[in-house]
Amino acid sequence: MLAVFKRELRSYFTGVVGYVFMVVFLVVAAAVFCFTTLFSMSADVTTYFTVMLLFSAIILPLLTMKSFSEERKLKTEQLILTAPVSLTGMVIGKFLAAYVMFASALVFTSLYFLLLIPYAITFRVAVLFGNIIALLLVGAAFISIGLFVSSLTENQLSAAIGTIAIILGFLVVGLLSSLIPSNYVARYILDSVSIFSRFSAFTAGYFDFSAIIFYISLSALFVYLTVRIYDRRRYN
Protein backbone atom coordinates (compact mmCIF):
# COMPACT_ATOMS: atom_id res chain seq x y z
CA MET A 1 0.00 0.00 0.00
CA LEU A 2 2.80 2.43 0.88
CA ALA A 3 4.51 1.83 -2.46
CA VAL A 4 1.28 2.55 -4.34
CA PHE A 5 0.70 5.66 -2.24
CA LYS A 6 4.18 7.03 -2.98
CA ARG A 7 3.92 6.24 -6.67
CA GLU A 8 0.53 7.91 -7.02
CA LEU A 9 1.54 10.96 -5.02
CA ARG A 10 4.68 11.32 -7.14
CA SER A 11 2.65 10.99 -10.33
CA TYR A 12 0.63 14.10 -9.49
CA PHE A 13 3.80 16.17 -9.75
CA THR A 14 5.56 14.38 -12.58
CA GLY A 15 2.62 15.45 -14.74
CA VAL A 16 0.49 18.59 -14.69
CA VAL A 17 -2.52 17.34 -12.73
CA GLY A 18 -1.09 18.05 -9.29
CA TYR A 19 0.09 21.53 -10.20
CA VAL A 20 -3.17 22.45 -11.94
CA PHE A 21 -5.21 21.22 -8.99
CA MET A 22 -3.14 23.12 -6.43
CA VAL A 23 -3.08 26.37 -8.38
CA VAL A 24 -6.79 26.32 -9.22
CA PHE A 25 -7.79 25.34 -5.68
CA LEU A 26 -5.65 28.03 -4.05
CA VAL A 27 -6.77 30.76 -6.46
CA VAL A 28 -10.48 29.92 -6.17
CA ALA A 29 -10.26 29.61 -2.38
CA ALA A 30 -8.55 33.00 -2.15
CA ALA A 31 -11.21 34.60 -4.35
CA VAL A 32 -14.06 33.05 -2.35
CA PHE A 33 -12.42 34.13 0.90
CA CYS A 34 -12.10 37.72 -0.30
CA PHE A 35 -15.69 37.98 -1.50
CA THR A 36 -17.29 36.19 1.48
CA THR A 37 -15.26 37.72 4.31
CA LEU A 38 -12.83 40.54 3.52
CA PHE A 39 -14.94 42.53 1.05
CA SER A 40 -18.13 41.99 3.05
CA MET A 41 -16.34 42.77 6.35
CA SER A 42 -17.72 39.56 7.86
CA ALA A 43 -16.22 36.82 10.02
CA ASP A 44 -18.91 34.31 9.08
CA VAL A 45 -17.36 31.14 7.60
CA THR A 46 -20.66 29.61 6.48
CA THR A 47 -20.74 30.99 2.96
CA TYR A 48 -17.06 30.29 2.35
CA PHE A 49 -17.24 26.60 3.22
CA THR A 50 -20.55 26.12 1.45
CA VAL A 51 -19.06 27.49 -1.77
CA MET A 52 -15.90 25.41 -1.29
CA LEU A 53 -18.06 22.30 -0.84
CA LEU A 54 -19.70 22.92 -4.21
CA PHE A 55 -16.36 23.75 -5.81
CA SER A 56 -14.82 20.53 -4.42
CA ALA A 57 -17.52 18.56 -6.21
CA ILE A 58 -16.14 19.91 -9.49
CA ILE A 59 -12.39 20.03 -8.83
CA LEU A 60 -11.82 16.73 -6.98
CA PRO A 61 -12.67 14.55 -10.02
CA LEU A 62 -9.53 16.08 -11.55
CA LEU A 63 -7.50 14.12 -8.99
CA THR A 64 -9.31 10.81 -9.38
CA MET A 65 -10.20 10.64 -13.07
CA LYS A 66 -6.86 9.06 -14.03
CA SER A 67 -6.44 6.80 -11.00
CA PHE A 68 -7.67 3.62 -12.70
CA SER A 69 -8.85 4.73 -16.13
CA GLU A 70 -5.30 5.57 -17.17
CA GLU A 71 -4.13 2.09 -16.14
CA ARG A 72 -6.77 0.54 -18.40
CA LYS A 73 -5.98 2.90 -21.28
CA LEU A 74 -2.23 2.21 -21.11
CA LYS A 75 -2.86 -1.55 -20.75
CA THR A 76 -0.96 -1.65 -17.44
CA GLU A 77 -3.96 -2.86 -15.47
CA GLN A 78 -2.66 -6.43 -15.45
CA LEU A 79 0.48 -5.25 -13.68
CA ILE A 80 -1.70 -3.95 -10.86
CA LEU A 81 -3.72 -7.13 -10.66
CA THR A 82 -0.60 -9.27 -10.46
CA ALA A 83 1.45 -6.96 -8.23
CA PRO A 84 2.53 -8.25 -4.78
CA VAL A 85 0.01 -6.05 -2.99
CA SER A 86 -3.56 -6.72 -1.96
CA LEU A 87 -6.33 -5.12 -3.98
CA THR A 88 -7.51 -3.36 -0.83
CA GLY A 89 -4.02 -1.97 -0.25
CA MET A 90 -3.82 -0.85 -3.87
CA VAL A 91 -7.13 1.02 -3.77
CA ILE A 92 -6.43 2.57 -0.37
CA GLY A 93 -2.98 3.67 -1.57
CA LYS A 94 -4.53 5.52 -4.51
CA PHE A 95 -7.23 6.94 -2.24
CA LEU A 96 -4.72 8.27 0.29
CA ALA A 97 -2.57 9.89 -2.42
CA ALA A 98 -5.54 11.86 -3.77
CA TYR A 99 -6.74 12.64 -0.26
CA VAL A 100 -3.35 14.02 0.85
CA MET A 101 -3.42 16.38 -2.14
CA PHE A 102 -6.89 17.63 -1.23
CA ALA A 103 -6.29 17.84 2.52
CA SER A 104 -3.03 19.74 2.05
CA ALA A 105 -4.71 22.31 -0.19
CA LEU A 106 -7.69 22.70 2.15
CA VAL A 107 -5.66 23.10 5.34
CA PHE A 108 -3.36 25.61 3.65
CA THR A 109 -6.24 27.73 2.34
CA SER A 110 -7.93 27.63 5.74
CA LEU A 111 -4.98 29.61 7.10
CA TYR A 112 -6.53 32.60 5.34
CA PHE A 113 -8.86 32.93 8.32
CA LEU A 114 -5.95 33.78 10.60
CA LEU A 115 -6.14 37.23 9.02
CA LEU A 116 -9.52 37.76 10.67
CA ILE A 117 -8.59 36.96 14.26
CA PRO A 118 -7.23 40.41 15.20
CA TYR A 119 -10.26 42.19 13.74
CA ALA A 120 -13.27 39.94 14.27
CA ILE A 121 -14.62 39.94 17.81
CA THR A 122 -17.31 37.42 16.90
CA PHE A 123 -14.95 35.06 15.09
CA ARG A 124 -15.44 31.53 16.45
CA VAL A 125 -12.43 29.25 16.05
CA ALA A 126 -14.46 26.16 17.03
CA VAL A 127 -16.87 26.75 14.13
CA LEU A 128 -13.93 27.14 11.75
CA PHE A 129 -12.38 23.84 12.83
CA GLY A 130 -15.77 22.13 12.63
CA ASN A 131 -16.19 23.26 9.04
CA ILE A 132 -12.66 22.19 8.11
CA ILE A 133 -13.25 18.73 9.56
CA ALA A 134 -16.59 18.47 7.78
CA LEU A 135 -15.11 19.43 4.42
CA LEU A 136 -12.23 16.98 4.93
CA LEU A 137 -14.80 14.22 5.50
CA VAL A 138 -16.87 15.27 2.50
CA GLY A 139 -13.70 15.36 0.40
CA ALA A 140 -12.93 11.78 1.39
CA ALA A 141 -16.40 10.74 0.21
CA PHE A 142 -15.98 12.61 -3.09
CA ILE A 143 -12.57 11.02 -3.71
CA SER A 144 -13.86 7.51 -3.01
CA ILE A 145 -16.70 8.10 -5.48
CA GLY A 146 -14.16 9.33 -8.04
CA LEU A 147 -12.02 6.22 -7.64
CA PHE A 148 -15.06 4.01 -8.09
CA VAL A 149 -16.13 5.73 -11.32
CA SER A 150 -12.54 5.75 -12.61
CA SER A 151 -12.40 1.97 -12.17
CA LEU A 152 -15.37 1.59 -14.51
CA THR A 153 -13.94 3.25 -17.60
CA GLU A 154 -10.70 3.86 -19.47
CA ASN A 155 -11.74 7.36 -20.55
CA GLN A 156 -10.59 10.03 -18.09
CA LEU A 157 -13.15 12.58 -19.25
CA SER A 158 -15.97 10.08 -18.78
CA ALA A 159 -14.63 9.29 -15.31
CA ALA A 160 -14.63 12.98 -14.37
CA ILE A 161 -18.12 13.64 -15.74
CA GLY A 162 -19.53 10.49 -14.12
CA THR A 163 -18.02 11.43 -10.77
CA ILE A 164 -19.44 14.94 -10.91
CA ALA A 165 -22.87 13.55 -11.84
CA ILE A 166 -22.96 11.17 -8.86
CA ILE A 167 -21.69 13.82 -6.44
CA LEU A 168 -24.24 16.35 -7.68
CA GLY A 169 -26.89 13.69 -7.21
CA PHE A 170 -25.97 13.39 -3.54
CA LEU A 171 -26.06 17.19 -3.24
CA VAL A 172 -29.30 17.75 -5.12
CA VAL A 173 -31.33 15.38 -2.94
CA GLY A 174 -30.73 17.81 -0.09
CA LEU A 175 -32.24 20.63 -2.11
CA LEU A 176 -35.18 18.46 -3.08
CA SER A 177 -35.88 17.59 0.55
CA SER A 178 -36.27 21.29 1.38
CA LEU A 179 -39.23 21.39 -1.01
CA ILE A 180 -41.04 18.61 0.88
CA PRO A 181 -42.99 19.31 4.10
CA SER A 182 -41.12 18.20 7.23
CA ASN A 183 -43.82 15.72 8.25
CA TYR A 184 -43.35 13.60 5.11
CA VAL A 185 -41.32 10.38 5.25
CA ALA A 186 -39.79 11.17 1.85
CA ARG A 187 -38.05 14.21 3.30
CA TYR A 188 -36.49 12.12 6.06
CA ILE A 189 -35.24 9.59 3.51
CA LEU A 190 -33.73 12.26 1.26
CA ASP A 191 -32.06 14.02 4.20
CA SER A 192 -30.56 10.72 5.35
CA VAL A 193 -28.60 10.33 2.09
CA SER A 194 -27.93 14.01 1.47
CA ILE A 195 -24.35 15.21 1.74
CA PHE A 196 -25.40 18.85 1.71
CA SER A 197 -28.05 18.59 4.43
CA ARG A 198 -25.61 16.95 6.83
CA PHE A 199 -22.90 19.47 5.99
CA SER A 200 -25.18 22.40 6.82
CA ALA A 201 -25.16 21.36 10.48
CA PHE A 202 -21.43 22.10 10.66
CA THR A 203 -21.81 25.48 8.95
CA ALA A 204 -24.38 26.34 11.60
CA GLY A 205 -21.88 25.55 14.34
CA TYR A 206 -23.07 22.06 15.35
CA PHE A 207 -20.70 19.10 15.52
CA ASP A 208 -22.88 16.33 14.09
CA PHE A 209 -21.46 12.88 14.95
CA SER A 210 -24.08 11.11 12.83
CA ALA A 211 -22.85 13.11 9.82
CA ILE A 212 -19.28 12.03 10.56
CA ILE A 213 -20.35 8.39 10.60
CA PHE A 214 -22.29 8.92 7.36
CA TYR A 215 -19.32 10.44 5.51
CA ILE A 216 -16.92 7.76 6.71
CA SER A 217 -19.40 5.02 5.81
CA LEU A 218 -19.96 6.52 2.35
CA SER A 219 -16.21 6.66 1.74
CA ALA A 220 -15.75 3.07 2.93
CA LEU A 221 -18.64 1.89 0.74
CA PHE A 222 -17.20 3.24 -2.51
CA VAL A 223 -13.69 2.07 -1.63
CA TYR A 224 -15.14 -1.39 -1.02
CA LEU A 225 -17.05 -1.31 -4.33
CA THR A 226 -13.85 -0.38 -6.15
CA VAL A 227 -12.02 -3.29 -4.53
CA ARG A 228 -14.83 -5.64 -5.54
CA ILE A 229 -14.63 -4.48 -9.15
CA TYR A 230 -10.93 -5.30 -9.33
CA ASP A 231 -11.41 -8.51 -7.41
CA ARG A 232 -13.87 -9.61 -10.08
CA ARG A 233 -11.50 -8.59 -12.88
CA ARG A 234 -8.63 -10.48 -11.33
CA TYR A 235 -10.57 -13.74 -11.51
CA ASN A 236 -12.00 -13.04 -14.94
DSSP string, 168-219: HHHHHHHHHHTTS-TTSHHHHHHHHT-HHHHHHHHHTT---HHHHHHHHHHH
Q: What is the domain extent for residue 224?
A: 2-235
How many Å apart are CA 76 and CA 128, to the nearest integer? 43
Note the Cα 30 to chain centre separation in Å.
19
Per the confidence metrics, is the pTM higher than 0.85?
Answer: yes
Lowest-pLDDT choice from 11-15, 34-38, 41-45? 41-45
pLDDT at 184: 67
How many Å apart are CA 121 and CA 102, to the nearest integer? 30
pLDDT at 27: 94
pLDDT at 6: 86
How many Å apart are CA 111 and CA 108, to the nearest integer? 6
95: number of Cβ within 10 Å: 25
> Left, alpha or beta for 20 (phi > 0: left; psi -120 to 50: alpha)?
alpha
Asked if residue 154 lies in contact with residue 72, where contact means CB atoms within 8 angstroms, the answer is: yes
pLDDT band at 181 (very low <50, low <70, confident <90, very high): low
| Helix orientation angle between 46-59 and 17-33, rounded to the nearest 10 degrees | 160
Better-scored residue on pLDDT, 10 or 74: 10
Number of structural domains in the chain: 1
Note the Cα 193 to chain centre separation in Å.
16
Burial class (CB in 10 A: 0-12, 13-18, 19+), 190: buried
How many Å apart are CA 164 and CA 99, to the nearest integer? 17
Note the Cα 184 to chain centre separation in Å.
30
Q: What is the mean pLDDT of residues 69-78?
A: 72
